Amino acid sequence: MEGGELAPLVTALDIYEPRHVDLAARRLTAETPTVSFDPAAIRCQLEGYLVNWRGLLRTNVPQGQQILKRLIKGRLTFTPQVGHYAFAGEGTTQPLFAGLVQLVQKMASPPGFEPGFQP
């Protein structure tokens, strides 16, 4: 078995090693999920959705029906009134906030907000 000159190999390693380290760092950054939680921005976005909620529900009727099915628990009862109907029922906001709660649970607590006990 014969060996060759090591100098070109060492030179190539010197050239490509920093690139390898850089690419590994970029890959780690890309694979690491970043969680940004800005309550003020979320509130602003939700308020923007609520400004024209009727229009949003009418724009895409099937999506509007799916949203209402998730927010209304059970059935609505409609009672005829003079010139209109009154309706009553039970609703929930749980489907809206479930993803938000899961997101918050994955975040670290700021210093001073640690629970008094460990589960």
What is the spatial distance between Cα 42 and Cα 37, in angstroms, rounded to a whole number? 8
Mean of the pLDDT values across residues 8-36? 83
pLDDT of 117 reads 47
Calculate what percentage of the chain has a pLDDT beyond 70. Answer: 75
What is the spatial distance between Cα 91 and Cα 76, in angstroms, rounded to a whole number? 10
Name the 3-class secondary structure at 86.
strand
What is the spatial distance between Cα 5 and Cα 3, in angstroms, rounded to a whole number? 7
pLDDT of 109 higher than 80 = no
pLDDT of 49 higher than 70 = yes
pTM of the model: 0.35
The tokens for 25 are 């760092």
**How would residue 119 be classed by pLDDT, with cut points 50, 70 and 90?**
very low
